Every structure is written in structure tokens, then in C-alpha cells.
Structure 1
């Protein structure tokens, strides 16, 4: 059974999520603060929903603490909508964010989309000049045989654009293709991921992701 961890200091939010997602067949573990999470059991979870603003250890700090311990998607539940907050959250390893107050139908769709993505299998490699290689099985991007430290979401965006090299995609199209859910209202998620991708690739002195103003992005 798919096991989800939900961390939020609002009891009403925890009850809403547990009741709603429980109907989808998920096993739900809830905690009112990050300090109550049993670190030893993190590997049991298939997805983590994490509130940002909590007493004690906040969501950002907890995400930083556990990102290297878990390989599952981490989704922030947040009232923070400023771009710098979103940039920071995605930059420390979160895969997505859901803004409070949220519609439960959207939450269910987002969770299902991320879990579907986790089950996808990839094979073989995809290579481009100058010395860019995607290991589609391991989901790792290499430049000159050096691994680029991309998050899962950043890698998936790169792979999608690279597989469709030269084709321009809107932010909404990228979100739907990568996460499997229509990304209306989530333009900032893709924009922020692209910024992070560019910063990491610039370290290797390459910039294959270009902006087509007024439309979206493409892999050159």
C-alpha cells in the first residue's frame, strides 16, 4: 500500500488530508510538527506533504535535513506565494508546492500525479553535443561524464525538453507532461525549476534551455 507522510501543525488540515487521501487507498501517517517525525521510518514513505510554517523546525529546515535521506517526492503545503520563497523551497529539494487554501481535488490530483511519475520506468541513454548524456534508467544528467546535481523534478523537466529538442513548450505544457496534471496557476513552479536548472548547468558552462519570449522554453 502507498504510504504518505503529512506534517502540518493545523489539526483540521491533517484531518482533511487524512480523510480525503485515505479514500484514495493511501495509508496516511500524520504529525503536527517535524520534531515528532520518526527519522528511522522515513524510508517507508512514498510521498511527503510538508507544511512550511510550523513551530520548532519549520518545513524548509526539515526538508533540508531529510532530502538526502529519502528518494520520494516532497510537496510543500504553504501560504507563502512570493517567488523567492518558492525558489528557496524548490532549491532545497522539494518537487512541488501547493498553496493554502487549496482545493482537495487539486491536492488529490497532484499527489496522484507525483506518485505516477515515480512508477515510470526509463531505459537506455540520450546524448547531445557538447558531451551531454542522459542516463534514462538512473535518471541522471551528465556533462563531460560529471553528474549534474539536479532534483528529480529538475531532471524530469530537462529530460522532457531534451527528448523534444527544438520544440517550444509553455509552462503549463511542461507541468502537465512532467507531473501528469494540468498546471493551471503553477507557472511559478516551472519558472523556478528552470532558474535552478540554468544555474546548475551554467556551472558546467552550458545553457541548453532557452526562453522563447511570450511562449515558453525549449532545449537547443
Structure 2
């Protein structure tokens, strides 16, 4: 069975350990966090479901949900002692898929998680987040926060290819074939010019993540 990765965020260690033990018995891979401050948004795309406590210090569940909903496609289920209707409606309006009210039974927790994983057919937004940049793999656009970086089709293809294989070094020829294919009548040295232009555009926002590996080619760091 393909690994199912679940992230649980709650400031109560006892609840974290309880949920982890319950879900691990179902052969799920479970990552636990006792606060929202330590969340690395670049890693969120690996999770298939997120269980998120509402009432937490520093950053509460509603705030975190708002900040990550456009980054992830998986179901988000709130864990909450709040039972007032307006609180439930608020949570659903900002992107939550469901609520589990504390205290909850092990059977309820397991059933809710399994149900959401079974019926998760949300159209994937196909977002890749790295180095402070966000790739929309569906629309083929690159963003720094909400600011679109104006890349040509070729420039975008280079960025996406390198970012998807972060840390791996590619030669000019490998990048050229990925972008243009085998039949393109051109010199692969044009890739150097494209990367020069990419760097100029991205450097307006952050330090450019494309590194030259002398004598070999380029990599996304």
C-alpha cells in the first residue's frame, strides 16, 4: 500500500501521542508538531491529510489554515473544543474540510480520517513551493508570494525542471533537451542566456536559487 502521510498539530502532547498511536496502527505515517511556528511550508505538500488544533498559543489553527490553504490540496480537519456554530462556520469558510470536537473517541477519529482519505478527489492545484517561490504546475506560472514573475515559456520550463530535481546537477544539453526536445535546431548555449535572464528576474525578489556548477552545468539549491 502506498504510504499515507498525516500531519498532526496540537499543543497538547498527550493528544498528539494518542493520535499518533491510533493512526500508526492503521499503517499511516504520522508527523506530530506541538505548535504552528515550526511548520515548514515547503514540506506541507508531502502530507495527505492534516489534523489541526484550533486553540493554540502564538499561532492558532484558523490563522495557520488561512496561510497554508493555497499551498496544500489535502484535507484539513480541525480538532477543537469549540462547539459554537459561528466558529464551525468560520473554520469551514477558510478552507477546513471537517471538524472533530474534543473530547473525541478513537473510533470517531479513525473513521473521520479514513472517510476523508477515501473520498479525497479534490482537483489538485499542483503547487510546488521552494526557496520562497511557488510554482503553479497547472498554469505554468511562478510566483513570489502573490507576485507573478514574468517568465517566458522557456525560462519557466528551465526553472520547473531544476526545482523539481532540487540539488541535482544538469548539463546544458540535458536542460536543452528537457525544454526544447531532440529536434530543435538551435545551440544549447542559449540555455546560458535564459538562465542569465531568469536570475535577473528572480533576483528582484530573492537570492537566485540557480547555482552554476563549473565545468558541469546548473542546479537548483
Name the TM-score class by shorter chain: 0.5 to 0.7
* Aligned residue number for residue 55 of structure 1: 57
> What is the TM-score normalised by the length of structure 1?
0.54
Cα distance in 1 for partners of 2:82, 2:24 equals 26
Q: Which runs of 4+ in 1 moved over 4 A?
A: none
Aligned Cα root-mean-square deviation (Å): 1.6
Q: SS of the counterpart of 1:28?
A: strand
Q: SS of the counterpart of 2:44?
A: helix
Deviations 1:55-101 (A, max 9, x none): 11100000000000000000000000000000100000000000000
Asked whether the 8 Å contact 2:73–2:122 carries over to 1, the reply is no
* Aligned residue number for residue 164 of structure 2: none
Q: SS of the counterpart of 1:25?
A: coil
Among residues 20, 23, 30, which one is paired with 2:22 in the alignment? Answer: 20
Cα distance in 2 for partners of 1:23, 1:82 equals 32
Cα distance in 1 for partners of 2:59, 2:107 equals 29
Task: Spell out the pairing of 1:1-220 with structure 2 (5 A cutoff).
Answer: 1-118=3-120
Cα distance in 2 for partners of 1:5, 1:38 equals 12
Cα distance in 2 for partners of 1:120, 1:53 equals 27
Per-residue deviation at 1:37? Answer: 1.3
- If each structure's helix is expressed as a fraction of its own residues, which one has the higher value? 1
Per-residue deviation at 1:38? Answer: 1.5
Per-residue deviation at 1:36? Answer: 1.1
Unaligned runs of 5+ in 1: 122-220
Relative to structure 1, the CA distance from residue 26 to residue 119 in structure 2 (aligned partners, 3 Å threshold; closer, same or farther) is: farther
Cα distance in 1 for partners of 2:12, 2:122 equals 33
Cα distance in 2 for partners of 1:71, 1:57 equals 21
Q: SS of the counterpart of 1:5?
A: strand
Deviations 1:130-189 (A, max 9, x none): xxxxxxxxxxxxxxxxxxxxxxxxxxxxxxxxxxxxxxxxxxxxxxxxxxxxxxxxxxxx
* Aligned residue number for residue 145 of structure 1: none
> What is the TM-score normalised by the length of structure 2?
0.54
Larger Rg: 2
Aligned pairs, number: 122
Deviations 1:160-219 (A, max 9, x none): xxxxxxxxxxxxxxxxxxxxxxxxxxxxxxxxxxxxxxxxxxxxxxxxxxxxxxxxxxxx
* Aligned residue number for residue 189 of structure 1: none
Cα distance in 2 for partners of 1:86, 1:72 equals 19
Unaligned runs of 5+ in 2: 124-221
Relative to structure 1, the CA distance from residue 89 to residue 120 in structure 2 (aligned partners, 3 Å threshold; closer, same or farther) is: closer
Cα distance in 2 for partners of 1:25, 1:94 equals 24
